[in-house]
Amino acid sequence: MEAGSCRYQFRIALLGDAAVGKTSLLRRYMAGVAEPEPEPTVGVEFYRRELQLRAGPRVKLQLWDTAGHERFRCITRSFYRNVVGVMLVFDVTNRKSFEHIRDWHQEVMANQGPNKAIFLLVGHKSDLWSTRCVSAQEAEELAASLGIAFMEASAKNNCNVDLTFDTLAHAIQQALQQGDIKLEEDWGGVRLIHKTQIPRAPSRKQHPGPCQC
């Protein structure tokens, strides 16, 4: 389907500690393949993909892959204002990355724009079951305490990757439909994509026409 048929653009950021697999998740979603050793992200990288929502319009997703390393935090923080969706990613084999989720959530809440962001907590690398140190139940409890949804995924096994993005986009669409998220002129979180402008008949008052001299 052509790009022009998308109704909205949703801007979504992936946040979480370094090496939890944000880039791998995104690249799996974009290309359908797992990249063995992606380079650590420097600042922010952008991806785009279109998505047909279940029982909803087709939307354009603008996906921001952010660096998890602390030294890029002042760059990534400046992007929070203009996102509508946030995937909070931790690694199920890395307890610290789980413990930092509250801090990531808090940081977005403190820096967000005119609308509240929609969050999804993702327990990543679910393929590493033998070295897991965060249970699904613990993660469910954290998500419930933050009032957000939780899912597990693995870029390596391609488990639930599409579903995480579908779930977040669907939640954004619902919030938009229910009026919990409003379109704002100077906010990039959600943009209405205008269809080709239909030229209006010129009004004499507004358009005096070609120069008369």
**Strand, coil or helix: what is 119?**
strand
Closest separation in Å from C-beta 7 to ligand GTP: 30
Query: Counting every residue, how long is the chain?
Result: 213
Residues that bind ligand GTP (CB under 6 A): 18-24, 36-38, 40-41, 67-69, 124-125, 127-128, 154-156
Which helix (H) or strand (E) segment holds residue 149: the answer is strand 149-153
Closest separation in Å from C-beta 6 to ligand GTP: 27
Closest separation in Å from C-beta 110 to ligand GTP: 21
CB nearer to ligand GTP: give 38 or 56. 38
CB nearer to ligand GTP: give 118 or 155. 155
Q: Closest CB to ligand GTP belongs to which residue?
A: 68
Look-up: residue for tokens 């906010």?
187
- Of 160, 190, 195, the C-alpha closest to 62 is 190
- Residues 23 and 47: beta-carbon distance below 8 Å: no
CB nearer to ligand GTP: give 94 or 115. 94
CB nearer to ligand GTP: give 128 or 193. 128
- Whole-number Cα distances in Å, 144 to 10, 73, 135, 152, 200: 24, 26, 14, 15, 51
CB nearer to ligand GTP: give 6 or 14. 14
Closest separation in Å from C-beta 143 to ligand GTP: 19
Closest separation in Å from C-beta 95 to ligand GTP: 16
CB nearer to ligand GTP: give 27 or 60. 27
Closest separation in Å from C-beta 65 to ligand GTP: 7
Look-up: residue for tokens 């390596």?
156
- Whole-number Cα distances in Å, 156 to 14, 25, 86, 153, 175: 17, 8, 21, 9, 31
**Strand, coil or helix: what is 38?**
coil
